Amino acid sequence: MDNCSINKTVEKTDKQNIGDLLHFGKAVLEQNSNQNAESESILLLSYLLNKEKSALFLNRHLPVSPYKTKRFYEWVEQRKKGIPIQYITGFQNFMGLEFETSEGVFIPRSETEILVEKIIELIEMFPEKKRLSLLDLGAGSGVIPITVCSFFQKKGRDVNFYAVDVSEKALRLAAKNAQKFHCQNHINFMKGELFTPLKELNRSILFDGIISNPPYISHRDWKNLPDEVRIFEPPEALLGGEKGLDFYQKIIRESPKFLKPGGFLALEFGHRQKNDIKQLITENANYLQKVITFRDYYHNDRGIIAFKNSSENN
């Protein structure tokens, strides 16, 4: 179908059925060289109509209101411009929960689900700890503290977070997500640079664990990021200095002051950063022991967990 005939179909009918719209979205996105045209058209319509994908296939003949039809055309147009699907629909599923997203805030990635799973496993290894206090540095949309809190809330365990971010926009979104999943009383959101807001408190806090998925893209990798990420997501959520290691240096250096003896540090990192981060730990953090790395679903090295030694003299 050429561009003209697609536009004609659109102009002719402001009322279409589900099947027509799916076909329209697929055709427009395919023309735009989108490799996932069909699945993205399905995903957009499924969010717009709030229907499962299977319900779309079973109800292809059902009419869609002129209002929703118009919205669908707008969404397809936005997608054609490269805007990430999650900014168009306003949602991203993470650990089975539908998180709100918003432009200017990092979109949660499936890699980070592994980090959350590791943290949950770690906490479950210590059932005798009835009350846990954790810190998330660079909270973004709030996925890490919210999924962990929500998991343990269902199990009747008291897991509490301090969650820090420099971005006001991110903190507003994270607070909204915390409310949505009833975790607002377990997460204390703070604005500022890494540990700074904690240093400004007039008391010192020690955590059972410090977690972070900091910005880790290097200058070299920045150029190779897909346009969708480089143009539309906030650079300050992605760029980690020349080698992508700036945040790890600071976090690894400062963590001992904020960790209880035996507490853990859990970090996501870029798939080529494992050795650099292990070296950073060896050179700067003799307070850390039992360093364990883990991989993501695609078998890329993706994260590290280390424990502060149990003696008090650090």
Closest CA to 130 of 153, 150, 154, 159: 159
216-255 positions binding ligand SAM, by CB under 6 A: 236-237
CA 38 → CA 46, 107, 174, distances in Å? 12, 22, 31
164 binds ligand SAM (CB under 6 A): yes
Q: According to CB under 6 A, which one of 48, 143, 252, 277 is a site residue for ligand SAM?
A: 143
Tokens of 116: 């959350």
222-281 positions binding ligand GLN, by CB under 6 A: 229, 238
Interatomic CA distance for residues 263 and 265, integer angstroms: 7
Interatomic CA distance for residues 127 and 293, integer angstroms: 23
Interatomic CA distance for residues 15 and 105, integer angstroms: 34
Count of positions on this chain that bind ligand SAM (CB under 6 A) = 22
Neighbour tally for 199: CB within 10 Å: 13
* 197 to 216: interface string for ligand GLN, x by CB under 6 A: ----------------x-xx
139 binds ligand SAM (CB under 6 A): yes
170 binds ligand SAM (CB under 6 A): yes
| Residues known to be catalytic | 106, 213-214
* 140 touches, from ligand SAM, ligand GLN, none (C-beta below 5 to 8 Å by class): ligand SAM
Interatomic CA distance for residues 26 and 20, integer angstroms: 10
Contacts with ligand GLN by CB under 6 A lie at 109, 111, 213, 215-217, 229, 238
- Which residues bind to ligand SAM, rule: CB under 6 A? 106, 108, 112, 137-141, 143-144, 164-167, 170, 193-194, 213-215, 236-237
